[in-house]
DNA sequence: TATTGTTATACTCTATAACTATA
DNA sequence: TATAGTTATAGAGTATAACAATA
């Protein structure tokens, strides 16, 4: 039985997740923390609100996240030059170096995965993955996948435990 | 700037994760719990050890996981007919129905994502995704991606705790 | 002795609400 | 009034270690 495209994509997602957990095990890093550091590396110093938006989480979670990263020496909280309510989360030099190495490994992995595709297939493959990503983005945006769950508002009452 | 294949795959993985969190929000379900239920739906009743292996986690985590699923009415612990140490985790009828609906939605999503690809490109695309998954599997298996982290042998000593 | 599942403990991530200090 | 970040609280996931019952 051939697995569907969806199953293959989910398998890839799970491989990423497990492999990162393995790689970060024994360090202070986690996937979420690395995601935050990655954003700071690419965006530069950012307020916690900005981070919350980018990470798709709440300000509260970012507070805890930055606490952990600060404790581990990866970021510092700096005063915002214009807004005295806000803080600018900034990478330490050590974290900057880690993220630079991560970018190298990331680029290497990107190249290796691309190289795994038959050059004859590459153009069609790239068009395909772009189409899939666009379609999935739209579906997620429309909240049109329910995974067997009745949507809370429109569906019938399922709140009888 | 064209995103790399790797970045597109990571974007897809994140879309899956966020969308499931959205869909399950307000219910007793989470991605991990659904993963366990999905396995039980496909494998049939399983011991917690078997679940731990499939989920790539520990027996301890499965204990807590099954506790939660049992509390929410999705599974029951049944006695193992042959091994009196073991328990067979079994789907309730309600959970079985939820998973049946989920399979339908899953198949629908799979079809939609496949349909997003230009039929002209589909064959090459399928070969490509298979190659990428195989290559990534191998890399993960060999633990050859380090994400900028020094493997725990060199650099900072970790054995002084 | 090894395995199954448990209790005990600790840390992380997510989420809501109430609070402060600024804007 | 609204925003930035905090404390308080709670549930969930992950991981290690020690333990009981059973194999």
pLDDT in tens, B131-146: 999 999 999 999 999 9
Judged by a CB distance cut-off of 8 A, whether residue A23 touches chain B is yes
Put simply, the answer to whether B8 touches A143 (Cβ < 8 Å) is no
Element holding A90 (H helix, E strand): strand A87-91
Q: Is the shortest CB-to-strand distance from A84 to strand D under 7 Å?
A: no
Question: Would you state the pLDDT for residue B42?
Answer: 97
B84-111 in b/e form (b: 16+ CB < 10 A) is eeebbbebeeebeebbeebeebbeebbe
pLDDT at residue number B151: 72
Q: In the prediction, which pLDDT does A160 show?
A: 37
CB contact under 8 A, A23 and B146: yes
The tens digit of pLDDT for each residue in B49-61 reads 999 999 999 999 9
Q: Are A50 and A43 in contact (CB under 8 A)?
A: yes
The H or E element that residue B91 is part of is: strand B87-91
Most B-contacting residue of A129, A139, A153 (CB-CB within 10 A), to test interface: A129
Distance CA A44, CA A65 (A): 17
The sign of the CA dihedral A122, A127, A132, A133 is: positive
Nucleotide minimizing C1' to CA distance for residue B36 = D13
Q: What local confidence, expressed as pLDDT, does residue A150 receive?
A: 82
Mean pLDDT of each 10-residue bin along chain B, 161 residues long: 95 97 96 98 98 97 98 98 97 98 98 98 98 98 93 44 30
A98 contacts chain B (CB < 8 A): yes
Residue A152: predicted pLDDT: 59
Identify the DSSP state of B27: S
Question: In this structure, what are the phi and psi dihedrals at residue A90, rounded to the nearest 5 degrees?
Answer: -130, 140
pLDDT given at position A1: 85
Regions in chain A scoring below 50 on pLDDT: 154-161
Residues 6+ apart with CB under 8 A from B3: B11
Residue of chain B whose Cα is closest to the Cα of A17? B13
> β-strand B87-91 against B75-79: which pairing, if any?
antiparallel
Q: What per-residue confidence (pLDDT) applies to B1?
A: 85
Question: Tell me, what's the pLDDT at B153?
Answer: 52
Alpha carbons within 13 A on the beta-carbon side of A68:
14
Residues of chain B contacting residue A95, judged by C-beta atoms under 8 Å apart: none
- pLDDT at residue number B152: 60
Q: Say how far residue B74 (Cα) sits from the centre of its chain.
A: 18
Instruction: Indicate the pTM of the whole model.
Output: 0.93
Short-list A134, A14, A29, CA closest to B136: A14
Contact flag B145-A11 (C-beta cutoff 8 Å): no
Assess A28–B contact: CB distance below 8 Å, yes or no: no
């Amino acid at each position: 039985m051939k697995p569907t495209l969806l199953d293959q994509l989910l398998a890839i997602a799970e491989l990423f997740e497990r492999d990162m957990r393995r790689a970060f095990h024994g360090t202070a890093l986690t996937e979420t923390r690395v995601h935050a550091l990655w954003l700071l590396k690419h965006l530069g110093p950012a307020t916690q609100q900005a981070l919350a938006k980018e990470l798709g989480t709440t300000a509260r979670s970012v507070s805890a996240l930055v606490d952990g990263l600060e404790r581990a020496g990866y970021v510092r909280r700096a005063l915002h030059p214009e807004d005295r309510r806000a803080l600018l989360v900034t990478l330490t030099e050590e974290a900057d170096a880690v993220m630079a190495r991560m970018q190298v490994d990331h680029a290497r992995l990107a190249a290796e995965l691309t190289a795994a595709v038959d050059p004859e297939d590459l153009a069609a493959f790239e068009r395909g993955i772009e189409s899939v990503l666009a379609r999935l983005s739209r579906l997620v945006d429309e909240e049109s996948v329910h995974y067997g769950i009745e949507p809370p508002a429109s569906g019938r009452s399922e709140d009888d435990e």
